[in-house]
Amino acid sequence: MAALTLGGTALLALAASLIATPARAQARPTATSPMAATTAVETDSATTGTDRDDGEDRSPWRQWQWSGFATLAANHHDSRTQGVISAFSQRRPAEQGFSAHLDTVGGVQGVWQPVTGSSLHLQAVARAADDFQPAWRMAFLRQQLPQGVSLRLGRLRSPMFFDSDITEIGYANLTVRPAVALYGSVGSVAGLDGGDLQWHHELAGATLLVQAWAGRYDYRHRFYNLDPVDVAQARLSGIRGLSASLNWPWLTVRASHTRVSRMTLRSPVTGALDAALGQLAGGLRQLAADPRLPAGTAAALAAQARGVDGLQQVYDSQPRYTSLGLDASHGRWRLLGEWMRLDTRSAMDGAYQGGQLTLGYSRGTLTPYLGAARLHRSSADLDLGALQATGLDPTLDAGLTHTQAGLALARGYADIATRSATLGLRWDGGDTWALKLQADRLRADQASGAGVLALRGLPQGQPVRLITLALDMVF
């Protein structure tokens, strides 16, 4: 209860810091159409470019339109060695027992339209998992251009997967949260610092949206298996991507592809690892230079030294992410699904593919739902043969063997393949709030991997059984 009270206090402080005038209530879509609930700021007059003449004061501050969202949630699970996370940037996992860290969040967003067709969009979010430190999710300028084209520059929400615009708006999601097994792999990339072009076009009774984006993003990546937890500075540079979506009243489909020129992870631990590998490579070169060795042995040691050098910066990657998602409804039924492939182009992390399906059935204000998700590691080719003992120098061999064992263990922790099953019930008690009760079963796809979990050690223990009660609100 203390954590929930703190959440409300932090949300009020965040709202007070952002809103200079009273918030203006806005109509919200129903729970059965969360695709329309991306945010109120994306559907108001500032976005469409229409002007209003309602007799109100048109001073600059009165032209702001404000809205917000919040989730108050309590989780419980009984695993002593595994914490539940939704992203590897999460400061505080949901640990054994009761916790409010995983899903409790508040956000405030606003749009300012100084002239028709031009607008400024802001969104700030505070999460319990990050000690309610406010973070900008959106801060961009939007310019409407001819022929249905618009340009956005600044900080955007991540456009990588199907419902990434509404990830933190619990009310707009059918479930408590997007499936951690699938989306935890990219959940840390919450935004994009750069810009995008969007083109809207009516096509065969549907709305076509084509989006192209480019930019970069930084975040703090946490290695939860270390004590204390190691925090690495993650930097994604050269992000670029393209998506196309078709939206009918009963179906939305979206395909997207994103490439990252380079992703780097730098921390005291990764720095120490690179230094150790450099020393081992130097030792191998020094040994290879011994004139008493046969030429073949010396050449093999020199090649081994190059192999050890190649293991430096082993966590760096060039990810490529592809997804295909859908949101379909028929009568009382609703189906959400997404297939994805993530190729990190890193020998340490490997390549993954997977998908998720969620099925809901609405009857009045109640919507029971169930879902399943799996992310499978399709390849991982980290070769540690360069760290084999030489049989020539006991001290050097001890260092090689120790480092080889450490990297073999790290390879397991880098395996984020996960599977989950979900069963839940949603009650829409009003036009602006919903109550959800959800049970999840989470585990790493392989016992030798960590999955999208904050693991203390390998192999993984029993699956995590997570119970969540969440109250979602928009205002």
**What is the residue extent of each domain of the chain?**
71-104+170-190+197-279+310-474
Rg (CA), the chain: 25
- State both tokens at 34: 């969360």
CA distance 39 to 353: 29
Dihedral angle, C-alpha 412, 415, 419, 425, nearest 10 °: 110
CA distance 113 to 191: 23
Tell me the whole-structure pTM to 2 decimals: 0.85
CA distance 214 to 241: 7
Q: Which CATH number fits the domain 71-104+170-190+197-279+310-474, given the four candidates 2.40.160, 2.60.120, 2.60.420, 1.10.260?
A: 2.40.160
Is beta strand 433-444 parallel, antiparallel or unpaired with respect to 366-379?
A: unpaired
Instruction: State residue 141's pLDDT score.
Output: 98
CA distance 418 to 458: 14
For the chain, the maximum distance between any two Cα atoms, rounded to a whole number of angstroms, is 94
Dihedral angle, C-alpha 436, 441, 444, 446, nearest 10 °: -150
Instruction: State residue 401's pLDDT score.
Output: 97
Tell me if residue 335 falls in helix, strand or coil.
Answer: strand
Task: Report CA 408 to chain centroid distance, whole Å.
Answer: 26
CA distance 82 to 460: 8
Give the burial string for 280-315 (b: 16+ CB within 10 Å, else e): bbebbbebbeeeeeeeeebeebbebbebbbebebbb
* Contact status, residue 141 vs residue 118, Cβ threshold 8 Å: yes
One digit per residue, the tens of pLDDT, for the chain of length 475 reads 333 333 333 333 333 333 333 233 233 334 444 334 444 444 343 333 344 444 455 566 668 999 999 999 999 999 988 999 999 999 999 999 999 999 999 999 999 999 999 999 999 999 999 999 999 999 999 999 999 999 999 999 999 989 888 999 999 999 999 999 999 989 999 999 999 999 999 988 999 999 999 999 999 999 998 889 999 999 999 999 999 999 999 999 999 999 999 999 999 999 999 999 999 999 999 999 999 999 999 999 999 999 999 999 999 999 999 999 999 999 999 999 999 999 999 999 999 999 999 999 999 999 999 999 999 999 888 999 999 999 999 999 999 999 999 999 999 899 999 999 999 999 999 999 999 999 999 999 988 889 999 988 888 778 999 999 999 999 9
Of residues 168, 157, 261, the one with CA closest to residue 211: 157
CA distance 367 to 177: 15
